[in-house]
Amino acid sequence: MIKVENLHHSYNNDEEYAVKDASFKIPQGEIFGFLGPSGAGKSTTQGILTGLLPLQKGIVTVAGYDVKTIKRKMFNKIGMSFEQSNVYSKMTAKENLDFYKKLFDVETRDSEELIKLVGLDGKENVRAGEFSKGMKHRLTFARSMINNPELWFLDEPTTGLDPAIAADIKDIIREQNKKGVTIFLTTHNMFIADELCNRVAFIVDGEIKLIDSPKKLKLEYGEQLVEVEYQKNGDIATETFSTVLAEDKKRLQDVIAKYDIQSMHTKEATLEEIFIKVTGRGLA
């Protein structure tokens, strides 16, 4: 669905690249995450893929179209949800969606259905200017689905949303993916990337450091240990057991049988820990 080869981008048209020699492929139906700290080059890459920034150097094809010369009909297949809400504040939620629909040549979804989907039902006729930040974000998210995109660009889709609404958004993303929608997701939130993405790319200072699935990364970089806290003689004791070595496994069973277990955690690495390990930088 997306093919990127040797992508470079400089904002000053010099050798200082915001994106340096990025290459990756995204097959249809995949949720691909671009994970990196602020200023890493995530939005720049996404901007080039969506035609918001010109392609300076490299080969990029999106939904079968070469982005070197953007063809407007490419956008019939694409949906984009922006990190910064960008709806018309003087228009109502429904008016925003109804207008946007008319800019596409393909069949579009019903505005009210989308408004309900993102939890804004009852607010169809309220001007977007009166919405809270979260509501505007949801409207922007809803708008990105209006043309039933095959390829969906999501820029920080859950940032600033409360956990309940964020959970709804994640459900919608999963559901769309089940229908075959390819998703390109940029975020600095490793939980989202971990939960949703089939593969993630770590990007720092414009360079892609690695691309792999979260599961494989955790297996490769994580430790196969279990940390147990239990009550012993009135105190809390902590022990770490290998889940591979036989004697540790036996000892673990004994502890579970003998003592009151307070907590038990596997010591597999989080994506953030892997990110720091691989790139030497944090996600913040």
Partner 1 sequence: MKLWHSFKKEILLATRGFYFYVEIAMAGLFLFLLLFVIPENFDHRVDEYLFYDVPDSAWGYFESELLEMDEDGSAEVVEIELDKKIISGSLYQTEENNYYVLDDQRQAISLADSERAFAGVIHMDELGEVTYTYYMQGYETDRLRNIYAVFHNESMDVLESAFDAQDVQVLHEDQVLLSDRQNILPSFLTFNGSLMGMFILASYIFLDKKEGVIKAYAVTTSPVWQYLLSKVGVITLTSLVTSLIITIPVMGTQPNYLGMLVFLLGTGFAASALGLVIASYFDDITHSFGVLFGLVIFLMLPNIAYFIPTWDPIWMKYIPTYAMLEGFKEILLPGGDMAYILMASFGFFIAGLVLFLFANMRFKKTLTI
What residues make contact with partner 1 under the rule CB under 8 A?
47, 50-54, 72-73, 75-76, 78-80, 82, 84-91, 95, 99-100, 102-105, 140, 143
Residue closer to partner 1 (CB basis): 104 or 221:
104
Grouping H, G, I as helix, E, B as strand and the rest as coil, residue 127 is strand
With contact defined as beta carbons under 8 Å apart, do 166 and 136 qualify?
Answer: no
Beta carbon of residue 76, minimum distance to partner 1 (angstroms, whole number)? 6
The two three-digit tokens of residue 264, written as one number: 């038990």
Beta carbon of residue 147, minimum distance to partner 1 (angstroms, whole number)? 8
DSSP assignment letter at 30: -
Residue closer to partner 1 (CB basis): 148 or 270:
148
Residue closer to partner 1 (CB basis): 89 or 240:
89
d(CA 100, CA 88): 11
Beta carbon of residue 130, minimum distance to partner 1 (angstroms, whole number)? 13
Identity of residue 215:
K
Integer-rounded Cα Rg, in Å, for the chain is 23
With contact defined as beta carbons under 8 Å apart, do 138 and 82 qualify?
Answer: no
Residue closer to partner 1 (CB basis): 182 or 279:
182
Beta carbon of residue 106, minimum distance to partner 1 (angstroms, whole number)? 9
Identity of residue 167:
A
Residue closer to partner 1 (CB basis): 151 or 204:
151
d(CA 257, CA 268): 24
Beta carbon of residue 23, minimum distance to partner 1 (angstroms, whole number)? 23
